[in-house]
Structure 1
């Protein structure tokens, strides 16, 4: 809880992970002896301000995820009983990322409606393929999330060019103004639900919707809301390719254990 508001983390782990090039779905790949999704669950469940965690995966994978999570907790030196108590449920993902988030939001709203705390809650939306979030990043996001939409980000290190379909560079944005956006992204729960209601209305109207790669884009598009940017971490990588997985293993070996990361 923060500022008398309940805090709930939604961990998205419903993708197919096609770019990883493995038969096993990315979120279930083993990383340093534990499934990839476990590290995000551990970080949120052990954070003192987080009141509960919702895991989102494909409906057919829910039993498998539960099995892997219980096995990982048995091997962990953390308080497994406390961490499972923080688990508020497994939610079936949807066809698109936005569908998965909406399913989780509905689940939270239903569970909180009886307590009267849904309107005052904060929700953190996180990619389950980012195992190295750490307490500091969660703290940074929560420092502002009671009042507005918050995104962690880091300055872009490389020169970025805009390239057209013909492979021609058409512009070079000023690097000092470019940031790479990460998760978890934090929102007042009621704000994010209103943003998704805007998306639903646009779908029902049959309008063409541009790609929406994160939840902050919905707040910008449908609520005209401003985004607060807080400090992320260059280690907060998203595991997308085989090379990312190798880098993650190096990070874990360097830290000595997941305990020092989360």
Structure 2
């Protein structure tokens, strides 16, 4: 009696009905039935649920064919304190000590910075804290202290903290014209005027603040206002009579009033 065919196959051969199971392969019947008992390979290693991933990666297109993406989510990173040191000239240390009660409140209360006056190094140190909201607070505070160190009044320097379009421009008389000796002294006298009247007239007409520090001139104000004040000061340095400069300032001041 011949033996059954299943018994006559050679070692290593498989019957037509038998298959070799492959690791990771899922039976089609299980997939059709819902895959009960089979682990879902989705989202392995991402740590995010499938719904959030579909929302992040799904792209929508508007009527004009442009892609629309979901807005980025704000994540609070680790806090990192930043410091800034503003050196103070020796001749401005005494005014800083006398006005310190007016200098630090705007920095602490308005900008939420940590401030201290270092007497040994003759500098004002600023540091941001976790309560600081404005990312540019440290730079504003440094500009405020720098303006005070250049010779501006505290009330004028505080404007740098409240307004964003204020700048400080510094130049020397020698940048305009090379003057020495008495000629340099007369140029400084023409800019200041008798009892400072010429300087006050330039400030009021151009809506700026001017500081005369020997040969250096510092101007605080807006971009266009600084240009007006600088042109008047340059004219005085070059030798224009103050009466002519006053006339030009009146014209400029009337034009500025018409703009407003």
TM-score (norm 2): 0.27
**Structure showing greater Rg:** 2
Q: Which of the two has greater strand per residue?
A: 1
TM-score (norm 1): 0.27
